Amino acid sequence: MNTPHPDILALGPWDPKMIQASWLESAYEPSEQATAHADVELEKLRERGSPSHDGLAARLADWSADEQQLKLELQPARWALRLVSGSEFGSLSVLCAVRSADGRWLAGRRAAWVASWAGRWALGAGGAVEVNEDPIIAMRRELEEEWSVEAATLSIEALVRAPTGMALLIGLATLAEGSEVTRDPEHDEHAWWPSNPADWPAEADDPLRVMAALLTR
């Protein structure tokens, strides 16, 4: 079975200072059908004990890029729309892969109650961008909240559209030598995988290997 690959919207790398984000004042208005679908998916989360709130988060309204800069035009949108597949919703998340000073990859198994990737292994840290928040600040915030560490170096590698339709701003963080991570309750296990993705364990599923190929291109 072939794994769907993300659509690459813009390819870096860029220094974080090269990312320019602006916010539209008006919130995105989804259709009644999309709203109803989001309500159903949100109720499913509540039934399995997820404390996920349904406020507003970032939607990717537009973007432009060249070698010197990535510009993002963001818009407030209902958080629960990220639970519904469809590129028209444009929900934006940040994803920050993490490597140790010697090149190993930080992987964490997502707890059963979380909204996304429940029970699956993921790379690094990630999450929604809050309204009027700079996406780079969001990326650093997620890294600190999920793993209690700061990046020694951070590069922004790509803007992609996942097969579900969600837009992902992807970063790559390297930790200082001797850094120790402490996982948050959103993860029930973590491990440092070998620097060469070919040596990763069986729990590293195809989407993670696709991501590693993008980050080590």
Q: For the segment 10-56, what is each residue's pLDDT rounded down to a tens digit?
A: 999 999 999 999 999 999 999 999 999 999 999 988 888 887 778 99
Quick: pLDDT tens for 115-172. 888 899 999 999 999 999 999 999 999 999 999 999 999 999 999 999 989 999 999 9
Residue 2 lies in a domain: no
Taking residue 161's Cβ as centre, other Cβ atoms within 10 Å add up to 16
Domain count, the chain: 1
| pTM for this predicted structure | 0.94
Averaged pLDDT score across all residues of the chain: 94
Task: Give the contacts of 33 (CB within 8 A, at least 6 positions apart).
Answer: none
The encoded tokens of residue 196 equal 């060469």
Quick: pLDDT tens for 63-111. 999 989 999 999 999 999 999 988 888 999 999 999 999 999 999 999 9
Residue 127 lies in a domain: yes
3-state secondary structure (DSSP) of residue 8: strand
Q: Is the pLDDT of residue 112 over 80?
A: yes
Taking residue 86's Cβ as centre, other Cβ atoms within 10 Å add up to 14
Residue 180 lies in a domain: yes
Cα–Cα dist 68/58, whole Å: 23
What's phi and psi for 16, nearest 5 deg? -55, -30
Residue 86 lies in a domain: yes
Residue 1 lies in a domain: no
Residue 75 lies in a domain: yes
Query: DSSP characters for 49-106?
Result: T------EEEEEEEEEE-SS-EEEEEEEEEGGGGGS--TTT-BEEEEEEEE-TTS-EE
Residue 207 belongs to what H/E stretch? Answer: helix 206-215
The predicted pLDDT at position 4 comes to 67
Residue 118 lies in a domain: yes
The predicted pLDDT at position 158 comes to 97
Give the CATH number, domain containing residue 184: 3.90.79.10
Task: Domain of residue 183: give its range.
Answer: 7-215
- Residue-wise over 108-117: b if at least 16 C-beta within 10 A, else e? bbbbebbbbe
The residue type of 4 is P
The predicted pLDDT at position 3 comes to 59
Residue 69 lies in a domain: yes
The predicted pLDDT at position 2 comes to 57
Split at pLDDT 50, 70, 90, the class of 1 is very low
